[in-house]
Structure 1
Amino acid sequence: SSFRKAILPIGAAIGGMVVPAAIYLIFNFNAATEHGWGIPMATDIAFAIGVLSFFGDRVPVGLKVFLVALAIVDDLGAVLVIAIFYTSAISYMDLLHAILFFLVLVGGNYLGIRKAWFYALIGIGGVWLAFFFSGVHPTIAGILTAFTIPGKVKIKEEDYLKNLQKLHLQFLEATPIKGNFISEKQLSILEEIKQKSDDAETPLQKIEHHLAPIVGFFILPLFALVNTGIHIHGNLVEILSHPISLGIGFGLLVGKFTGILGVSWLLVKFKLAELQEGISWRHLSGVAMIAGIGFTMSLFITELAFQKEEYTFIAKLSILFASVLAGVIGAIILRLYGRTESTTKPAMNN
């Protein structure tokens, strides 16, 4: 809602991407494994929010908002990194087609087209396919398409309620007919109620609402299951001391923590941003550690970064270990803070 509120999670997310990538490069600079620098940059938004949700009301709502905003910016950054740095040969003609389809969607938004099928059909059949054939990774197509879907209501809440009340009275006054059917007048009123209700919703939220259970309960678990595929074997100490493991482990556990917390502190110190009411630096340190859960996006980037099966195996195992550790340590930090708060809370006067 304001620059000072938005700049904190945005800046923290950027710090949480740059520092882990730099740490990975320290361990793998000029090596065959150097291309994996993007792996520790990503935060798994679903797992991070899942860990934070265990605390319920014991953590302030502002902290959850901060983590969601940070993870979204982080995801956007990861997708841009994939599109720019983990892309094969580019077909500029197909890329031009993608831009043209994108402009059609922008035009549809400008002209007031609010039908979900319009954005789904051109977004998938046009933008996504064109990006797919262009060589640029099509994950960016989803974000571009989402930007074009209308995010504003067509009718204000107070106007909607007035119309609903008026139509409700008209329906009651309409003469019913005998039998199982309703009268033409009643049918006309119900259709108008549907239209007004449709105008009171934003197409963007409507699509998100319908996609949420499909993504949460089917796509995301399937994605994680397929992309993990870890068969643990060999000397674990040797594997986890490999430059790939050290880069990913320190990147997710140390890089994320110091990047997020460090940039946040600098922004607040120079009065460019401010902590929301109820959020302390202890809260922020717990969230900074939880953001080290890189699971699904990190696994995805691993598949793009390495062709050698050995490197992929080491990276996946490191992601798994580091993500579990980040979640556990972050949860402990937040839990200890809750205990401190409860023990130091002053007693209420009678």
Structure 2
Amino acid sequence: MSSSRRTRTTFQRFIESEALGGLVLMASAALGLVAANSPLAQSYKDVLHAPIGGLDLLHWINDGLMAFFFLLVGLEIKREMVEGQLDTWRRRTLPLVAAFGGMFVPAVIFMAVNFPHPENWRGWAVPTATDIAFALGVLALVGSRVPGSLKVFLTSLAIIDDLGAILIIATFYASGLSIAALAVAAVFAAVLYWLNRRGETRLLPYVLLGVLLWIAMLFSGIHATLAGVVLAMMIPINGTDDNGHSLLHSMERALSPWVAFVVLPIFAFANAGLSIDSAGQMLVLSPLGLGIVGGLFLGKQIGILSAVYLAKRARIAALPAGASWRHIYGVSLLCGIGFTMSLFIGLLAFTDPEKEVVLKLAVLAGSLLSALAGTLVLLTAGPKKTTPAS
């Protein structure tokens, strides 16, 4: 199988798994909400805060289990940049410009609403994120009404968005930095780089060093999950095994179903559960809540649609093949589904229980509005356009 054909197959498999995983993610989030608002609510909370090895279960989920999610994200980013849909600047231009607009405008809207409230400023990045699994899951419900190129555009945009979220987490949400722990982490990263450069293709050395890197990051003040991204960047993409796959492709193929159907659903179930009472509903109308909802629902669509329009007007990029402006608008709305990444960033930004309630309600509200509006727009966008064969 040629390299280009293998890349297309990998990308297609990725899209399909992410779409189905997004549907499972929705069900898990709904189950968490039901549990938190049922007679089992106290048991739900007790289980999540049960101590295990010095940390509670929720901490293990958010710091430990999610490291596998970030590892997969890192592998996807590296593959797409090296040999996938983002392997040239010509291919990167449109999703890169769109991702920038889709992160910048939501942050501006959030800060405009919350500027008089400095205690909320740490939440500026919450509405900048896009949940790729959730968005592709919704897009899958639309089916053949959208061209395949639109799915590629959404996936590429979301991957760049994930890269931006990773940089934001590393830069703005580090706290209590430990120079000693960072130095140890740097040593492990250097050894991983050395293994990559010498062409090591065995999995075990990378796994062992990845675990040690995660432990060092846990005590460094930089979120431990980012160890997964660092490890992913060091996994070799060149060289093949007996089955013709590189270590990176093999790891990505093995991790994808586990992340889509185990890691993210557990994260959603554990973090989406909150008691929805009248007081909580009113808190969504607070500046923090309005900033998040406005950023996700309004900021994403304005930012992405404007960026794509300017890129096309400047002739530095063209619309995806077969896609209309209505299709682009629909995708811009779907990018307002922040969910996983928005919750993750928000839980780093705020530790106050009341703010966490506002955060979760606002992320759910903004994501739901974006999902419903995006679905409606795409359902009325008409069938895929056909283009003459060249």
TM surpasses 0.5? yes
Q: Which residue of 1 aligns with 2:98?
A: 12
* Aligned match for 2:242, one of 196, 213, 218: 196
Are residue 2 (structure 1) and residue 88 (structure 2) matched? yes
Give me the whole-angstrom Cα distance separating, in 2, the residues matched to 1:326 and 1:292: 5
Which has the greater radius of gyration?
Answer: 1
C-alpha displacement at 1:131, in angstroms?
1.5
Are residue 246 (structure 1) and residue 296 (structure 2) matched? no
Secondary structure, aligned partner of 1:134:
coil
C-alpha displacement at 1:30, in angstroms?
4.1
Q: Which residue of 2 aligns with 1:173?
A: none
State the Cα deviation string for residues 219-253 of structure 1 (Å, max 9, x = none): 11100111112110124663232111110111001
Are residue 78 (structure 1) and residue 165 (structure 2) matched? yes
Q: Which residue of 2 aligns with 1:233?
A: 277
C-alpha displacement at 1:153, in angstroms?
3.7
Give me the whole-angstrom Cα distance separating, in 2, the residues matched to 1:237 and 1:93: 44
Q: Is 1:245–1:318's contact at 8 Å kept on the other side of the alignment?
A: yes
Are residue 124 (structure 1) and residue 211 (structure 2) matched? yes
Q: Which residue of 2 aligns with 1:97?
A: 184
Secondary structure, aligned partner of 1:220:
helix
* Aligned match for 1:141, one of 217, 224, 227: 227
1:261-272 → structure 2 map (5 Å cutoff): 261-272=305-316
Q: Which residue of 1 aligns with 2:142?
A: 55
Secondary structure, aligned partner of 1:54:
helix
Q: Is 1:79–1:139's contact at 8 Å kept on the other side of the alignment?
A: no
Q: Which residue of 2 aligns with 1:38?
A: 125
Q: For structure 1, which segment, 58-67 or 233-242, has the greater mean C-alpha deviation from structure 2 after superposition?
A: 233-242
CA 1:37–1:224: 2 relative to 1, 3 Å: same
C-alpha displacement at 1:58, in angstroms?
2.5
| Paired-residue identity, % | 43
The one-letter code matched in structure 2 to 1:137 is H
Q: Is 1:4–1:274's contact at 8 Å kept on the other side of the alignment?
A: no
1:178-197 → structure 2 map (5 Å cutoff): 196-197=242-243
Give me the whole-angstrom Cα distance separating, in 1, the residues matched to 2:227 and 2:314: 37
Which segments of structure 1 move beyond 3 Å, counting only runs of 4 or more? none
Give me the whole-angstrom Cα distance separating, in 1, the residues matched to 2:337 and 2:349: 19
* Aligned match for 1:297, one of 341, 354, 359: 341
* Aligned match for 1:214, one of 239, 258, 282: 258
Q: Is 2:109–2:295's contact at 8 Å kept on the other side of the alignment?
A: yes
TM-score by length of 1: 0.81
Q: Is 2:337–2:367's contact at 8 Å kept on the other side of the alignment?
A: yes
Q: Which residue of 2 aligns with 1:276?
A: 320
The one-letter code matched in structure 2 to 1:105 is L
* Aligned match for 2:202, one of 115, 118, 121: 115
TM-score by length of 2: 0.73
Give me the whole-angstrom Cα distance separating, in 2, the residues matched to 1:144 and 1:238: 41
* Aligned match for 2:107, one of 21, 25, 30: 21
The one-letter code matched in structure 1 to 2:242 is K
Give me the whole-angstrom Cα distance separating, in 2, the residues matched to 1:139 and 1:25: 27
The one-letter code matched in structure 1 to 2:237 is G
Structure 1, gaps ≥5 residues long: 155-194, 346-350
State the Cα deviation string for residues 85-117 of structure 1 (Å, max 9, x = none): 112111122212222211211111111111122
State the Cα deviation string for residues 101-142 of structure 1 (Å, max 9, x = none): 1121111111111112222211222x2222211101123221
The one-letter code matched in structure 2 to 1:29 is F
1:285-324 → structure 2 map (5 Å cutoff): 285-324=329-368
Give me the whole-angstrom Cα distance separating, in 2, the residues matched to 1:261 and 1:142: 32
Give me the whole-angstrom Cα distance separating, in 2, the residues matched to 1:111 and 1:153: 12
Are residue 333 (structure 1) and residue 377 (structure 2) matched? yes
Aligned length: 299
C-alpha displacement at 1:56, in angstroms?
2.8
Q: Is 2:296–2:370's contact at 8 Å kept on the other side of the alignment?
A: yes
Structure 2, gaps ≥5 residues long: 1-86
The one-letter code matched in structure 2 to 1:132 is L
